[in-house]
Each structure stands twice: as C-alpha cells, then as structure tokens.
Amino acid sequence: MPFPISQQTPNNNSRMGDISALDNAVKPKYSVALHAGAAESWFGDAQTQKNTEAFLANLIKVAEQQLMRGTTSIDVITDIVAALEDYPQFNAGKGSAVNIDGFHELEAAIVNGENSEYRAAACLSTTKNPIRLAHSMLAQESPCFLVGPSADAFAVKNGLEIVKNEYFSTPSRKGYWEAKIKEVRAASEYHGTVGAVALDVHGNLAAGNSTGGLMFKSVGRIGDTCVVGAGIWADGEVAIACSGSGEAILKATVASRAACDVRNGKSIGKAIEDALLKSADLFPTSSCGIIGIYKSGEISIHCNSRIFAVASASSVSSTINAGIIPSTIPLMKSLVCYEDDLLRAGMSKYPTMPNQMVIEWKGYSPFETLERHLFLEYLQAMRTIAKGLQKYCDVKRCALNSAAGRQTSIFPIPDEKSPKSNEVASIEETDSGLTLQTHDLESGYQASFYSKSSEQYLLVKVEIRTSNPSLNTSPGFLSLEIDAYNEACSALWKTCQILRGEFKQDLNSFTFEINTNSGSGSLATFSRLTSTALHFPAPAPFHDTYPGYLTTELGRRASNLLELSAIVDRVSNCIREVV
C-alpha cells in the first residue's frame, strides 16, 4: 500500500501553552505515529491483515483526537501502546512470545521528552500492561528501571491490573512453541515490538515501547525495547521508537545514534535512514524499523525489515495513514556493486530469483519524471549494470521492472528460457471495455494507451512497440547496441511525457517493465498499480529459474545473506569490465 515516509509541518519551534488558552485563529500542531512490529515473517491470512490494518487506523484516529483535545504526549503514547498490548496479533502483552522454558516475560519503557524522564520494567510475568507500569513509575524519582518479581510487585502496589502468565498466550503462539521447542537451539529471529511517538499541542515529545521479546529467548533476557538510547529515545528535539533485531539494535545504539544526528543538523528522515544502514553494516543479518517525530512535527518512518506495521497522523494532514508497509531501504551498503551520482545498485536482500539486483534511485521523484538527458543517463547506467550482471551469470538477456519509479530490479534470464509477457493474452482480448489511443514516437516506435471507456484518463496500461529490425533480433532491450538503445530510451522518455502531459497521470501509480522478449516488437509496458498484492504481506515465492513473469514484490530474506559479499565483489568486477 502507498505510505508516505515523511510528513512535514511548518518550522515553528515556539512553546504553544495550554490549548484552552490559545486564540481560535491559531491551530496548534501535533503529530503521532505508532508501530506494531518490524518483521521478516507474517502470520495471518488476508482477513487478519484487513482486521489488523483497520485496528491500527482506528487506534491512530483515537490518538489524534486525544492530541486535538490537548492530552499530553506522554499520556497519548501510553494509551496507544496499552491498546497494542491488548491486541493478540502483536508480540506485546496478549500474544507475547514464549521463552525457552515455555512462559512469558514482558518489557516496556517510556520517555518524556519534556524533562528526559525515563522509566522501564522488564522480565514481567503478571503485569497485564507493562507500558502502564512504566508510566506509573514516572510519579516518583526512583527507581528508573525495575526487573522481575519486584517490577510485578510494584504494579500491584500501584493498583495496576494483574493477570496469570497464561493470559499472555495465544493458540498460535503456544502451538508454534510446542511444535518447535525440541529442535530449538537458540532464540528465534521472529521480531515484534509495539510502540508510539507523539508531539502534543504543548510542544512536548514522548516515546513508548513494549514487547514480549524473542521466541525461545533465554529466561531473563532483556532486549533493546526497554533500554534508553537503544530502542527508545525522546528529548526536546526528537522522539524515536525502534523495532526489530533486539541484540543488534541494542549493540548499535540505534535510537540515540539517530537522535544525535538530528541534534547535529541532519533531517530526521536522513538520520533514521543512516542509523538503520549503520546497524545493518555492523550486523548484516539484522533488520530494524524506526518511527520518529521531530519537534517541528515532521514524521519519519523507515525500515530495512521486509514488513513494518505502522500508522500516523498529524495536524498538517487530513489523511490518516495506516497499514503494513514493505522495506523502505531496499539496499544494504555491504551489497552495493555499483554507484554513481544518480543511483546505486546491489544484490537484493529479498530476491524472488537468483542473482537479482536492486537499483536505488537517489532522487526524490520517479526517475520517469527526469529531464531527457538525465533520463537517458539513468537508463545508460541500467544498461551497464545489466551487461555486468549478464557477464557474471553468463546469460544473454536481463529483464527490468520498477515500482512507482523509485525501486527497480534487474533479473538475469537464463538463455534456455523462452521469456513471455506477464499477461497471457493482450489487453484488447481480455477487456473489451477499454479504449485505445496510439501515438507515433521517434525512430519508428509507437505507444498504445489503454484506458477505461467510462473514464478516458484512467489509464490501465501503456505499451511501447516497434518494427525496428535491430530490436526484433536482439536478445532484449538491455542488450541493444548503443545507438539503438539510445533511440529506444528516447521513445520511453517521450512516452513518459505524454503520460504526464496529455493524460495527466501520476507516474507513482504505475509499474514500469522492460520486456524480456523483443521478438514481438514489444519494448516496455507501464501498468497501473493495483491495491491488491498477490502475496504481501507474506513474501513472494522464490524461483530457482525464471518463472515467465516478473514481480515488484519482496521475497524472503536471502538465505545466503552472509555469503553475498563474495558475489558482490565478482559482480562489481564484471560491471567495471563492461564500462
């Protein structure tokens, strides 16, 4: 689902006072974001996903209403996290992970950015809502951190709800533990945390986190979630909450690293992205998701995990964003094979085919919106990368696809395969309710624009074709000789201009695919993105050989992630040889 990773408010740093005292003409600013876990796996069907996303949307809406009424950020994030703890789909409170001995140990932390007051509790076994315990600890100067039976006793003393340890179990979580316990030798990589960050109308920031920890974790294990500077941070500048590989986040001090960069002048989005990349550099098999809010109200959400359940709202946007998003950082630094001023390319962390490469465009808008010379430069770099990959894989063709013009994948296609279109039949044959308009392009190319008859400007698909003999005899677009390649790229660029100009289309709404089989004269297609994914949030299947179609969805995390560095070196050398 589309989900903006940054929402900005005007840069107004003044303290806003009590909302009731504000002049009616002044609209106080607020922002709120929550997460329900960064993860590599998804447990649930389509209905579970629908219910989960609806729950997140409703929860963030309630939180927004609280902030609008003047509720403090520390109270809002407490209520958010407590509600997430009560929802059994998430790994916090009800539904928490089961440790190696078969019971639950929970942890939570809270930070008030107004005065840097931090409280945490860990190894809880009977406190129903750990975040409420952390919040109640703010009422006195000490202790800051409680662990085990003493923490549960403190909850009793403060009148918090107490439950039996079995309350935290769910059939799916307990069933998984029983099925796997005999073969377990270490804690599971299953991630899961819930958390929230908020800026209230008084100008104060706060952050909260809660988790059940890792499946099969050692008794007494404490992760990053409740450790200030690791999984959580809040001060007068920024609020941060993390989720993911606990040990890696703890050792890489992700939250404080991001916060420090913000205080030193980086934008919150760049600071969070750099903190994630640094953590991945230090611990290559780790993954992490971060939500953050800057004092101006700007929200940033990033993850290098395969999925991240999140929601956000702010005073400068009428839209509530809620859902499960894919990785926003597709490329790890250690996997980069090629980089120039426009893009970087490397081996995919989440491939659906062997030796799949990911290209990360450095711009802020789709590459299809570039001026002509930059567009051609971008696709010339694509050709170089593809030729290097072909050399490494010893194949003659590569295919390319791109989702919304930002993340692009290149796939090597084995020569013995007979590539085919992603669609079995042409669009004219499958839907008689479409109208067709054609535009003649330069160098003998033609673009066919298919739209719904009832809505002239709702394009469904665009196909670029040619009768150029050099294309028809080539093993593919990316293998064309340079002059023919430049002509083909110019035809693609012109098609983009027609899409944006005459048809007034947002190119973020399309996937772009360079066809693998040029024998039919088909060069490339633009297809409208649909709201229904075939597999997401579950991973797309991995195919050892080309299945006859391409996908923009993420597969499972590469099983040979630690071995990819050697492949990176060889592919890098092949790319340098063809430059």
The catalytic site residues sit at 193
Alpha-carbon gap, residue 395 to 475, rounded angstroms = 10
Own/partner pairs, 277-280, CB within 8 angstroms, 24+ separation: 277/304, 277/329, 277/332, 277/333, 278/252, 278/254, 279/248, 279/249, 279/252, 279/254, 280/304, 280/332, 280/333, 280/334
What phi, psi does 280 have (nearest 5°)?
-70, -35
Query: Which amino acid belongs to residue 316?
Result: V
- 363 CB-contact burial (10 Å; exposed 0-12 / middle 13-18 / buried 19+): middle
Looking at the DSSP bridge assignments, the partners of residue 59 are none
220 membership: H or E segment, kind and range? none
Nearest to 314 by CA among 340, 295, 287, 331: 295
Contacts of 377 (CB under 8 A, 6+ apart): 342
Alpha-carbon gap, residue 283 to 304, rounded angstroms = 12
Which strands sit side by side in the sheet containing 321-326, from one edge to the other? 145-147, 117-124, 106-112, 205-211, 194-199, 31-39, 307-314, 321-326
CA distances from 141 to 120, 145, 149, 356 (A): 13, 11, 20, 54
